[in-house]
Structures are given as structure tokens and as C-alpha cells.
A = this chain, B = another copy of it.
Amino acid sequence: MDSLTDVLDGRWASLRRDIRAQVADEKFRDPVGLGVEEHRAQVLEQLHELAATGRPRLGFPEASGGNGDIGGSIISFELLGLGDLSLMVKAGVQWGLFGGAVELLGTREHHERYLRAIMDLELPGCFAMTESGHGSDVQHLRTTATYDPATREFVVSTPDVAARKDYIGNAARDGRLAVVFAQLVTAGERRGVHAFLVPIRDESGAPMPGVRIEDCGPKAGLNGVDNGRLRFDEVRIPRTALLNRYGDVAEDGTYASPIESDGRRFFTMLGTLVRGRVSVAGSAGSATKRALTIAVRYGERRRQFHRPGERDEVVVLDYLAHQRKLLPALATTYALHFAQEELVATLDELQSGTGEVDEVRQRELESRAAGLKAVTTWHATSTIQAAREACGGAGYLAENILPGLKADTDVFTTFEGDNTVLMQLVAKGLLTSYKDHFEDLSPLATARFVAEQFMGAVIERTAARKVVERIIDAGPGRDDDDALFDRAWQCKLFEDREEHVLDGVARRLRQATPENAFDLFNASQDHVLRAGRVHVDRLVLEAFVAAVDRCEDGETKDLLNRLCDLYALANIEADRAWFLEHGRLTSARSKAVVAAVNELCAELRPHARKLVDAFAVPEQFLAAPIIAD
């Protein structure tokens, strides 16, 4: 078991062990039986405990008193996902979004003035981007910040209710300073969305003049997070409250920016905030691991119906239907874990460097983060649901943890980018080969760009890719029934699917004219989303393959190889209609895939417990009576 955990823990093994030990402390307990206000209070207290560990410093640069370990900071958010997800989200708001925006969009003066207080939680803050009327299309936010050269201030305004800031974490109760995204207006000209520091409460907790704060009220889950709404009635802030790394206003009102296009500037700003999405994917993975650990442990002890001639009833995990509910999901959870690990390593490499970041690589990273966030959070929703059903009525009792996990993770498919929108972003990146700015998400722009420039699918330079190429090159290219278990065959099938789907989408979009672009794009939307999806699926398989390749312990490697087979074949099975339609699988081979998934379930069944125990979820977070000894 240690060996499996070692493989999962990978590069940040020692940090992972430390954080697991830390969150195993009773202080980080679940909010059992707490009302909304008590839950909020407990989470705030826990947040202070976290601050006291110094862990939040990981993500901030050394120059500002941080540790400069970007990867480690993402890992620490991931592991917070093993416990109360309200704490993970509140930590994410404070240090990831709010602190991250001050660091990445601000300049030295902001860093010096605020970062230490943010890290230590002396200054709780908000990240006020979403508005009631604009969630996905944030380029068109309607809050304004108008420069008044007479007083050298910006005047922040909410023109109407659709422009109020909504669902803002830390806003309803604790936040004192907010990073507010608003249309910058100076000298009568709009310059696009910028970020401003706006105090929303004084030290006593009272709202600042001109700031109206509402509580979003009870939510499906995450009730330990105080989401709120903010409205600004001509709130004046100093000129220096503009986070001015990508655009600044001189005292006389002159605007200057290193990036000319408003859209491009805004998406560059957004791009720097990619860590949020990566962290959400990581913690969604952790919650999934927790749910699977509970369901597998229960499935190993719950008995129902007699097997003829035996005294004891059958353990439910011995039933094929039960294995089908949990084991392919378990394999996918491993696959996504390795893909996430690779993504974090890439992010760490790009953002820890001091030099200029290659723009194409930065866009690849953003696209991969978007895609993996969507796939991982959808997987969390469906797997936690399956785990609940696999635990029957017991799974419906709050004491058995799954209801809370379901409720808390439900919004993950929506926040930090709606999954459907994110998947389009992935497809757009592929179609434009990451060469164009992401600035304009309009169908017309995409379609036109594709018509002009699409060059065919691009295989990204991930670390895993080299391993996969070696395996494909060495593969026997067999075509018999054993081919199903041939890694080279599986990889080629995923790769071929991606290329074919992407080529098909590009061909369709090349028909675009200014008149038909929207309708054409819309009619192709399912095709576009599919292109994003199969791309991510390939990256995930390749990450899994590379992780198995790295593993040195023979027995562990064998087990991971089988699990990788299950991931690959369950993915192919779910999509076999496409492979059949496109002549990639014969009928016989397609049926063989279904049979192979069943066989793999039977083969992996005896290892199910070991596979979930390797996640090493602290027992405090598994204190469900249904699995208590």
C-alpha cells in the first residue's frame, strides 16, 4: 500500500504527508450538525489555524514574504479538499483568488502594503468578479470605475441590479477589502475590465459608506462560506487602488498599458489567475477519493442475498453491477489524479520561472486547466452520486458524509468557469493552435479564425507525451483480440479520435461567413464540445501511462497497468458508438470491449480496498458509522 500511495503522492510526497497529518487534527473537523452561522464561524476559525501554520505563504513570492512554491500551494488546496470543502473554498477565496489577484495583477506597492496581511489573514478579502447578469461572459461586466482627475480617484458604481457583484465568497460576513473587476473609464473612454481594490468593511465589520452588502442566503452546500452580493453607490477609491500591472492611469487621467487590445489585456489578466481552476480540479479529485473510499469500504462489508449453498450472504461489491458503479470510476479517479499532477508540475514550471513565459505554452496551460477542471468536476458529480447510490439508504443519512460531499461539490461544475463554456475554450484553443489571443470568444471570431488558419490537430508537448510516443513506437500494432490490452493500441485510438473529431469540426467551421457564423457555430456546438472532451481524454490517458511508466515496484506497476486498462477501455466503451460509426471498431471488437471492462472489474475487485486506501484520506474524514468497525 505504501508503494501505491508513493506513486500517487509523486513529486510533492513530503508536502502531501505533512498536510495530511495537519488536517487530520481535530481542529479541521467536519461541520457536523452546525447551523449556517456556527459553520461560518468554525470555518473562519479553521482558516486562522491554517494561516498560523504558515502554509498559505507557499503560493506567494519570496520577495513578499512568501515561499515561492506555486506547485506546493496548489497541492495544499488539493488536500484541503479531503476535509470540509467550505474551508477549501474559503481558503481559495482568501489566498488563491483575492491574494493571487493582488500579487499577479498588482505591482510592488500593492504587494508591500497588502500581501503579508493577506497571508496572515489579518486582512480578509474578496474576489468580486461575477455579476448577477454576467457569470460566463465576464468581458462584459457592467460595474464601472470612472477616473476623476480632479480628486485623483476612481468612482466605482453599480449601474443596476444585473451589475451587482454576486456569489462573492467572503463578502457576506468576513471580507474587508475586495478586488473588484470593473470597466475602467478615463477621459471619457472605456478601457475594458480592470481590477480595483475597494474596501467594503471597516475594522469593526460595518459596511463602508456607499457599499451595500447582502447575504446570498442558504445554498445547496458550502454553507461555511459567506457568499454575498455587493453594490457600489459612487464609491470613491484612490487612483493607486487600481491593480496596475497590465494597465495604469496617470494622475491626469492618461491611460497606458503594455497590451493594446482591451480584450487581449483582459484575457491575459484572467490567464494569470489560472491557479484557481487548477485548485478546484484538485480538490474535486480529493472529494471524489473520499466518496470512493467510503463506498468501497461499505461495499466490502455490506452483504445482501444468499449465494446458494453458502451460509453468509454475498458481499455487494462481489456483484458485477456494483463493481460497474464504482471500479471504472475509481480507475478514472487515478487517471485524473496523474493528469492533475502533471498539470500542477507544468504550472509550477511556468509560473515559478523568472523569465518571460512563452505565450503559446501559457495558453496551452490555460486550456489544459480549463479542460481538466471541467472533466474532473463532472467526474466528481457523477462519482459521488454513484457512491451515494451504492450505499443505499445509509448513503442518504448526513452522518455517513456522502450527502455533504454531494451538496458541497455540486457547484464545482459551475464556479471558476461553467464547464460547458470551459470546454468550448479548450476546443477554441485547439482550433486556433493556441496562436490567437483568447480575447474574443464570439463564434464569429472563432469560425473566421479557423477558416483562415486551422492547420490540423496539434499534439501538445506534455511530459507524458514522450513516454507515449516511445510506447507507440515500440507497440506491435497487433490487431487480434489481445490488442484491447495493448497500450499502444489504446493510445493510438485516443489520438486518432482526437484528430478526427478536430478535423471534422474545423471542416464545418470553415464554411463560416459573417452572415452564417453564429448559426453555423451553434449548430456545431455539440461537435465543438466533443472536440474539447476527447482532447482532454487523451491527455488524461497519457498522464496515466506516464505515471505507470515511472513506477518501479513490479507488483504496484502491474496493478496500475490493469487500472490503466480499465480507464482506457471504460472510456472507449462509453464512446464506442463513435468508434463504430467511424470504422475504428468492428462490431465484434466493440462487444469485446464491453466484455473486457467486465473482466477487468472482476480482476480488480480484490484490490479495490487497497486502491482506495492508497488515497490515504485521514480517518477523521471517514468517520461514517456505516464503515465504522
Residues of A within 8 A of B (CB): 33, 35, 130, 133-137, 140, 166-167, 216-221, 303-308, 313, 318-322, 324, 381, 385, 388-389, 392-393, 395-399, 402-403, 406-407, 410-411, 413-415, 418-420, 441-444, 514, 517-518, 522-523, 525-526, 529, 576-577, 580-583, 587, 590-591, 594, 598, 602
A581 to chain B, nearest CB (A): 5
Contacts of A396 in B (CB 8 A): 219-221, 410-411, 414
A220: which B residues are within 8 A, CB to CB? 388, 396-398, 402-403, 406-407
Contact B305 A441 (CB under 8 A): yes
Are the C-beta atoms of A522 and B318 separated by less than 8 Å?
yes
Please judge, given known A-B contacts A396-B219, A397-B219, A415-B393, whether A442 and B518 are in contact too, CB under 8 Å: no
A259 to B101, CA, bound (A): 75
Q: Known: A305-B137, A514-B308, A518-B308. Contact between A525 and B397, CB under 8 A? A: no
**A395 surroundings in chain B (CB, below 8 A):** 414
Whose C-beta in chain B lies nearest to the C-beta of A529?
B321
- The answer for the CA separation of A121 and B220 in the assembled complex, in Å, is 33
- Whether B444 and A393, one on each chain, are in contact in the complex, defined by CB atoms closer than 8 angstroms, is no
Contacts A305-B441, A393-B166: A320 and B526 contacting too (C-beta < 8 A)?
Answer: yes
Which residues of B sit under 8 angstroms from A583, Cβ to Cβ?
Answer: 587
CB-based nearest B residue for A404: B220
Q: How long is the Cα–Cα vector from A137 to B306 in the complex, in angstroms?
A: 9
A529→B403 CA distance, assembly (Å): 27
Q: Which of A133, A167, A414, A583 has the most CB of B within 10 A?
A: A414
Given known contacts A308-B514, A526-B320, A587-B580, A135 and B392 CB-to-CB distance under 8 angstroms:
yes
Cα–Cα, bound, A407→B514 (Å): 46
Bound CA–CA A381/B136 (angstroms): 25
Q: Which of B324, B389, B415, B518 contacts A307 (CB 8 A)?
A: B518
**Which chain B positions have C-beta within 8 A of A305?**
136-137, 441-442
Chain B residues with CB below 8 A from A580, complex form:
577, 580-581, 587, 590
Whether A137 touches B308, Cβ cut-off 8 Å, given contacts A220-B398, A529-B321, A598-B523, is no
In the complex, how many angstroms separate the beta carbon of A461 from the nearest chain B beta carbon?
30
Cβ-closest chain B residue relative to A582? B587
- In the complex with contacts A167-B393, A308-B442, A518-B307, A137-B313 CB distance below 8 A: yes
Chain B residue at minimal CB-CB distance from A581: B587
Which residue on B lies nearest to A574, using beta carbons?
Answer: B577
Chain B residue contacts of A582, Cβ below 8 A: 587
With A217-B399, A220-B396 given, name 8 new contacts (CB 8 A).
Answer: A137-B304, A217-B398, A220-B398, A321-B420, A324-B526, A523-B602, A577-B590, A583-B587
5 contacts between A and B (CB under 8 A): A219-B398, A308-B443, A523-B598, A581-B590, A583-B587
Asked if A414 and B389 make an inter-chain contact with CB atoms under 8 angstroms apart, the answer reads: yes
CB proximity of A575 to chain B, nearest CB, Å:
8
Q: Is the CB of B406 within 8 A of A304?
A: no
List 5 tightest A-B contacts by C-beta distance, closest first. Answer: A220-B403, A218-B398, A577-B577, A580-B580, A320-B525
Return the chain B residue nearest A162 by Cβ. Answer: B303
CB distance from A450 to the nearest CB of B (A): 15
Contact B135 A403 (CB under 8 A): no
CB distance from A429 to the nearest CB of B (A): 17
Q: Which residues of B contact A598 (CB under 8 A)?
A: 523, 526
Are B441 and A304 interface neighbours, CB within 8 A? no
Contact check, B398 vs A320: say whether CB atoms are below 8 A apart: no
**Nearest CB in chain B to that of A388: its residue:** B410
A322-B577 Cα distance, complex, nearest whole Å:
22
Contact B581 A320 (CB under 8 A): no
Complex formed: what's the CA distance from A306 to B441 in Å?
Answer: 10
For A529, list chain B residues within 8 Å (CB): 321
The winner among A134, A167, A420, A523 for most chain B CB atoms within 10 A is A420
Residue numbers in B under 8 Å from A381 (CB-CB): 385
Q: Do B135 and A304 touch (CB < 8 A)?
A: yes
CA distance A419 to B444 in the complex (A): 46
The interface residues of chain B lying within 8 Å CB-to-CB of A219 are 396-398, 403
Q: Could you tell me if B591 and A321 are in contact, using CB atoms closer than 8 angstroms?
A: no
Given the interface pairs A134-B304, A407-B220, A526-B321, the reply to whether A414 lies near B392 with Cβ below 8 Å is: yes
Q: Which single residue of chain B is at the shortest CB-CB distance from A525?
A: B320
CB-CB nearest in chain B for A324: B526
Nearest B residue to A167 via CB reads: B393
CB distance from A382 to the nearest CB of B (A): 9
Interchain CA distance A306-B133 in the complex, whole Å: 13
Nearest chain-B residue to A602 (Cβ)?
A: B523
**Is the beta-carbon distance between B135 and A393 smaller than 8 angstroms?**
yes
Query: By the criterion CB–CB under 8 Å, are B393 and A413 in contact?
Result: no
A578 and chain B: residue at smallest CB distance = B577
For A305, A443, A587, the residue with the greatest tally of chain B CB atoms inside 10 Å of its CB is: A305
* In the complex, chain B residues whose CB is within 8 Å of the CB of A518: 307-308
Measured CA separation A388–B385 after assembly (Å): 14
Residues of B within 8 A of A388 (CB): 220, 410
B407 and A523 contacting across the interface, CB-CB below 8 Å: no
In the bound assembly, the distance between CA atoms of A587 and B582 in angstroms comes to 7
Indicate if the CB atoms of A306 and B442 lie closer than 8 Å.
yes
Contact A393 B321 (CB under 8 A): no
Contact B403 A407 (CB under 8 A): yes
Measured in the bound complex, the distance between the Cα atoms of B306 and A415 in whole Å is: 21
Q: Which residue of B lies closest to A589 (CB)?
A: B581
| Min distance, Cβ A325 to any Cβ of chain B, angstroms | 8
Among B303, B313, B523, contact of A320 (Cβ-Cβ < 8 Å): B523
When distances are taken between beta carbons in the complex, the residues of chain B under 8 Å from A576 are 577, 581
Among B216, B403, B419, B522, contact of A397 (Cβ-Cβ < 8 Å):
B216
Closest to A597 in B: B526
Residues of B within 8 A of A385 (CB): 381, 385
